[in-house]
Amino acid sequence: MALAAPILVLKLSNLKDPLEISISDSSDLFLEGTVNATLGKDEEYPDWSGYAMPAGKPNFETDEYERLLDLKVYVPKEELGKYINQTVELRYQTIGESGLAMSSPPVVLHIEE
């Protein structure tokens, strides 16, 4: 039996910049692909997808990709404002060169003004 995701309250009035999501250096990512933030219940077709950041960089000495460390993705305050007095699922998603996508478990946000 899976546990429900915790609900975190986010007060937009306390948010000065975009919401920053740090991605753990141990997360499974497609190193030749990208990573981005998503909002919405459907992880395959989210309501909103953020800017796709590279997840890795080529190492020309080994012909392999290396993981970029300290990755961060962002959700603009304006996007979060569309969910005032509602809950929304926040994830990050990694998409490989083939188009295959994997998403993190959701964090449920309750958005307040």
pLDDT digits (tens, 9 = 90+) for 16-64: 999 999 999 999 999 999 999 999 999 999 999 999 999 999 999 999 9
Residue 44 belongs to domain with CATH number: 2.60.40
Q: What is the pLDDT of residue 4?
A: 74
In a domain, 2, yes or no: no
Q: What is the pLDDT of residue 1?
A: 59
Tens digit of each residue's pLDDT (9 = 90 or more) over 74-85: 999 999 999 999
Which whole-number Å values give the CA distances from 68 to 12, 20, 58, 59, 91, in the listed order?
A: 30, 17, 10, 11, 19
In a domain, 3, yes or no: no
In a domain, 16, yes or no: yes
The residue range of the domain holding 50 is 8-111
Count how many domains the chain has: 1
What band does 6 get if pLDDT is binned at 50, 70 and 90? confident
